[in-house]
Amino acid sequence: MLWIKNGQLVDPIKGVMEQLDLVIEDGRIAQQPPRGVFKPEGEQIEVIDAAGKVVVPGLLDMHVHLREPGFEYKETIASGTLAALAGGFTGVACMPNTSPPNDCRAVTEFILKKAALAGFARVYPIAAISVGQKGEMLTDFGDLKEGGALAVSDDGFPVVSSELMRRALEYGRYHGLMVISHSEDRTLSGDGVMHEGFVSTRIGLAGIPDAAEDIMVYREISLARLTGCPVHIAHVSTATSVELIRRAKEENLPVTAETAPHYFSLDHNALRGYDTNAKVNPPLRALKDVEAIKRGLAEGVIDVIASDHAPHSVLEKEVEFDKAAFGLIGLQTTLSLTLELVREGVLGLPEAIAKLSLRPSRILGLGSGHLEAGSIADLAVIDPDVEYEFKASDVLSKSKNSPFIGRVLKGRSDLTLMGGKVVWRRIP
Ligand code: NCD
Ligand code: ZN
């Protein structure tokens, strides 16, 4: 038996903060007695004092690149899932752009086997939409589902053919697999390396216009309307995307969306020093986009915050800006940067936690992300007030490509539990 006492409990289902204790038995949440009421009797009991801390469901990151198989020098399933635990995440959904890509059951099963061997955060494989992520032929959704995939995406690449995307949505619904769209018109993004705007002109880099994203977001919404099938838009970065998704939701179309912390914490000015760690796809946008993303989060247009954790080694980042890979790591900074939105008044704490747990869980069809009695005790104990400098030496990922290294951040996870057991603890 485990007793977590004196904490503030945030249950995203209830949407409030409460002064409740948590009692865990046999790896599951047994009861939530009011503070000071629970009196343990006799048996062996482990006690965690969470005074001044916030106790939340284990966070779920629905957009992570674990790089295994094939790019183990950037990240492995073991290193990525350990970084996840340190960030407060007990679950990660991993994207298929590995080598080979996760386009068949053998790869899905390999990922699950490696994740079980590592024994850190739970891993939910996202399989490819098309064979080889080439956009030509659909993968075998039924077989992938049986192998353990719970969504499909060609992330890293757009699905160029609208007809193929239509079929993906139809087969995805039939098999109960969410389809996740990397929305990008490559004929427009072309050789661009950052947001097309004032800064790209000023510093002389090729731009990626926001229309490259908006056009594809509009297509996905049109296909959701045509087929009635659900679609989830990954890494939303533009004001127009937010507006399009808002209207789709007003129409009651089955469209959901996520953004990543860098799209509400940074803008294209972060590229002025040619920092390749701020080179990401879609690119960091203009201030008006950052404002729109925040409004979209506040108004529920954007359902989820996901890291888009995209590790790349120094080999791909310490090169000329044009040649550097797109992507930045985020598993260990996502919670802190999201808590910044709470301090700014953009989100209440329960809603911020919901966007990191309950909402992604529901989109992926998992039953987790809340603290109802009987649920598996996957939890994070957060210190919301601690200030710390995020250092390269804090990074548990194999790659250190974060534009937030050296920044003073506030709030982080101190303790992560899975199935009622402490699986990660911050050493003070
Ligand atoms: C991702 C990667 O490196 O795999 N990069 C990125 O900039 N976001 C791919 C992706 O999520 O599109
Ligand atoms: Zn992507």
Per-residue pLDDT tens over the stretch 133-182: 999 999 999 999 999 999 999 999 999 999 999 999 999 999 999 999 99
Peptide bond just before 100 cis, omega within 30 deg: yes
| Catalytic member of 154, 185, 289, 308 | 308
Q: Are 50 and 21 in contact (CB under 8 A)?
A: no
How sure is the predictor about 40, in pLDDT bands with cuts at 50, 70 and 90? confident
What is the pLDDT at residue 427? 82
Cβ–ligand 1 distance for 362 under 6 Å, the answer: no
How many other β-carbons are positioned within 10 Å of the β-carbon of residue 346? Answer: 17
Q: Do the Cβ atoms of 353 and 9 come closer than 8 Å?
A: no
- Quote the pLDDT of residue 304: 99
Please check whether residue 305 is in contact with residue 358, taking contact to mean a CB–CB distance below 8 angstroms.
Answer: no
pLDDT digits (tens, 9 = 90+) for 13-26: 999 999 999 999 99
Of 63, 308, 321, the one to substitute when testing ligand 1's pocket (max ligand atoms within 8 A of C-beta) is: 308
As a whole number of angstroms, the distance between CA 359 and CA 330 comes to 19
Residue 157 CB contacts under 8 Å (≥ 6 apart), including other chains: 97, 133, 135, 182
- How confident is the model over 325-375, as pLDDT tens digits? 999 999 999 999 999 999 999 999 999 999 999 999 999 999 999 999 999
- CA 156 to ligand 2 centroid distance, Å: 4
Q: Residue 328: nearest ligand to its CA?
A: 1
Angle at which helices 239-250 and 211-227 cross, to 10°: 10
Q: Which residues pair with 309 in a beta bridge?
A: 64, 328
Predicted confidence at residue 267, as pLDDT, reads: 98
Amino acid at 249: K
Ligand closest to CA 75: 1
Tell the residue nearest (CA) to atom 6 of ligand 1. Answer: 327
Mean pLDDT score of the chain, rounded to an integer?
98
Q: For the chain, give the number of residues.
A: 428
Ligand 2 mean position, distance from CA 289 (Å): 18
Q: Catalytic residue at 154? A: no
CA distance linking residue 72 with residue 79, whole number of Å:
9
Tell me the CA distances in angstroms from 287 to 241, 266, 278, one per residue in order.
15, 8, 15
User: HSE-up of 19 (CA within 13 Å, CB side)?
Assistant: 6
Q: Whose CA is nearest to atom 2 of ligand 1?
A: 310
Residues 6 or more apart whose CB falls under 8 angstroms from that of 102 comprise 94, 96, 108, 111, 125, 126, 127, 128, 149
**Rounded Cα gap, residues 15 and 154, in angstroms:** 33
Distance 403 CA to ligand 2 centre (A): 18
Instruction: Find tokens 């009991």 and name the residue.
Output: 45
Quote the percentage of the chain above a pLDDT of 70.
Answer: 100
Task: Say yes or no: CB of residue 327 within 6 Å of ligand 1.
Answer: yes
Tokens linked to 358: 């309950």
pTM over 0.85: yes
Do 39 and 21 touch, CB atoms closer than 8 A? Answer: no
Sheet holding 421-425, edge to edge: 16-18, 8-11, 54-57, 379-389, 408-418, 421-425
Place 324 in a pLDDT band, splitting at 50, 70 and 90: very high
Count how many Cα atoms sit within 13 Å of the Cα of residue 402 in the half-sphere of its side chain. Answer: 27
Q: Is the CB of 101 under 6 A from ligand 1?
A: no
Does residue 138 contact residue 193 with C-beta atoms inside 8 Å? no
**High-pLDDT (> 90) share of the chain, %:** 98
User: In 310-410, where does DSSP find H-type helix?
Assistant: 314-317, 334-344, 349-355, 358-363
Bridge partners of residue 28, in order along the sequence: 25, 376
Ligand 2 center to residue 427 CA distance, Å? Answer: 34
| Predicted pLDDT of residue 43 | 74
- Sequence-ordered list of residues with C-beta below 8 angstroms from that of 85, at least 6 positions apart, any chain: 120, 121, 416, 423, 424
Let me know: does 78 contact 66? Beta carbons within 8 Å: no
Q: Is 283 a pocket residue for ligand 1 (Cβ < 6 Å)?
A: no
The reply to whether ligand 1 has any atom less than 6 angstroms from the CB of 316 is: no
Q: Is the CB of 97 under 6 A from ligand 1?
A: yes
Show the tokens assigned to 64: 């992570």
Determine the Cα–Cα distance for residues 398 and 228; give it in Å rounded to an integer: 41
Amino acid (one-letter) located at 238: T
Token pair recorded at residue 105: 């059951």
What distance in angstroms lies between residue 154's CA and the mean position of ligand 2's atoms?
8
Closest by CA to 363, choosing from 60, 155, 109, 69, is 60
- Ligand 2 centre to CA of 391 (Å) is 26
Nearest CA to ligand 1 atom 9: 156
Rounded-to-integer distance, Cα 316 and Cα 299, Å? 37
Q: Is the CB of 326 under 6 A from ligand 1?
A: yes
Tokens 């090169």 appear where? 319
The CB of 279 under 6 Å from ligand 1? The reply is: no
Query: What confidence tens digit (pLDDT) does each residue in 52-83 have?
Result: 999 999 999 999 999 999 999 999 999 999 99
For residue 327, which atom of ligand 1 is closest to its CA? 7
Query: pLDDT-based confidence at 44, cuts 50/70/90?
Result: confident
Q: Are strands 231-233 and 255-259 parallel, antiparallel or unpaired?
A: parallel
As a whole number, mean pLDDT of residues 250-273 equals 98
